[in-house]
Amino acid sequence: MSLLNIKDLTIHFQTEEGDVRAVNGISLSVEPGKTLGLVGETGAGKTTTALGILRLVPEPGKILGGSIEYKGKDILRMSEKEVQDLRGNEISMIFQDPMTALNPVMTVGDQIAEVILRHQDCTKVEAERRMMDMLDRVGISADRAGDYPHQFSGGMKQRIIIAIALACNPKLLLADEPTTALDVTIQAQVMRMINDLKRQFGTSMLLITHDLGIVAESCDEVAIMYAGQIVEYGSLEDIFDRTAHPYTKGLFGSIPRLDQETERLQPIQGLMPDPISLPEGCPFHPRCPYATELCAEAAPAAVEVDPGHLVRCLYCVPGRKEEIE
Ligand code: SF4
């Protein structure tokens, strides 16, 4: 059984300007011990999806439909107390920006120990011992437990966030662009550490990123998100070796490759559509180099092109695929 199973999740923000359609009927699952990469540009709905899993979508956001089953139980139908018990304990989140995720007036040791005391049945002494163990695991000396966040560099703050997220040995980690705010030189180190700790603890992960290099190193399965929909979904090999959707092809065309000689990169033209007024038909059609008149009229359904490889494109179906190749 999947650890997390999302079906037809829809999340909109009702604003004065109109209905912001952030997440539009997405379905995905995370298997025990595995990592699913949720990939897309800014504004695709990735972070809103993660906040939806924790039922932390900020106002005026509303979860309008679908289900989020965790260990077979729908989080959307749990009581607030049940969800609070899940957060930070069974399901943890690493936020994008370590600068704002830590409490500036609390020592880092107290911030880690607080999570352990809140969720685990243990004494203060035991919580402190575990806090020191977590600091050690993320490569920070336990001597620094009494220091405040401002006394650490950006990379070390992110390590502390990771220690807090893993302090209660969660089953599922939601990592939202965990290395984006860090210097390039330490991004790889921090990502390696997350993957090592994930293996040690046997944690599953939903990894939100726009970086296909990180996906290649860390993920077992990949969901490509565009305008609040998952447009391609499959194993790492499906996405990297048997890329089908024009948007995914565009993402690969925008990054330099060491194994290929490329004179010019081919970025995807145009911008992500405004979620208040999404285009009719296929939401990618204004930017798609293969778009036809039909694409502006008919919204493509997700089609299984190979076992477990789903694509949402009118032409990525047997018999029509050659039309866009
Ligand atoms: Fe492009 Fe049409 Fe496929 Fe959409 S349905 S991705 S516009 S070819």
In DSSP notation, 40-71 reads --TTSSHHHHHHHHTT-PPTTEEEEEEEEEET
Mean pLDDT, residues 5-32: 96
pLDDT (average), residues 77-103: 90
pLDDT at 107: 97
Please give the model's pTM, rounded to 2 decimal places: 0.91
What is the predicted pLDDT for the residue at 101?
86
Lowest mean pLDDT among 16-25, 183-192, 223-232: 183-192
Using CA atoms, how far residue 224 sits from 9, 89, 243, 280, in Å, is 15, 28, 11, 20
Using the predicted structure, report yes or no on whether residue 113 has a pLDDT greater than 90.
yes
How far is Cα 203 from Cα 99, in angstroms, rounded to an integer?
25
Stretch 50-63: mean pLDDT, rounded?
Answer: 96
pLDDT for 254:
75
Structure tokens at 223: 């969901």
Average pLDDT of the chain, as a whole number: 91
Q: Given the CA of residue 245, which atom of ligand 1 is nearest to it?
A: 6
pLDDT digit string (tens) for 201-215?
Answer: 899 999 999 899 899
In order of 26, 88, 236, 242, the CA distances from 258 in angstroms are: 33, 39, 19, 19
Q: Which atom of ligand 1 is nearest to the CA of 298?
A: 5
Give the torsion through C-alpha atoms of 169, 172, 174, 180, to 10 deg.
Answer: 60
* Residue 130 pLDDT: 95
Q: Using 50, 70 and 90 to split pLDDT, how confident is the model at 155?
A: confident
Ligand 1: centre distance to CA 24 (Å): 17
pLDDT of residue 322: 61
Mean pLDDT of 286-297: 94
pLDDT at 319 over 80: no
Q: Please, where are the H alpha helices in 120-275? A: 124-137, 154-166, 184-201, 212-218, 236-241, 246-253
- What is the 96 CA–ligand 1 centroid distance (Å)? 31
Query: What does the pLDDT read at residue 154?
Result: 86
Distance 285 CA to ligand 1 centre (A): 6
Per-residue confidence (pLDDT) for residue 258, from 0 to 100:
63
Q: How far is the CA of 177 from the centre of ligand 1 (A)?
A: 28
**pLDDT surpasses 70 at 50:** yes
Residue 320 pLDDT > 80, yes or no?
no
Q: Is the pLDDT of residue 99 over 80?
A: no
Check pLDDT > 80 for residue 321. no
Residue 262 reports pLDDT greater than 70:
no
Q: Which residues line ligand 1 (CB under 6 A)?
A: 246, 282, 284-285, 288, 290-291, 295, 300, 313-315, 324
Beta-sheet strand order (sheet of 4-15): 18-30, 4-15, 61-70, 73-74
Which residue minimizes the CA distance to atom 3 of ligand 1? Answer: 313
pLDDT at 98: 73
Report DSSP state, residue 319: T
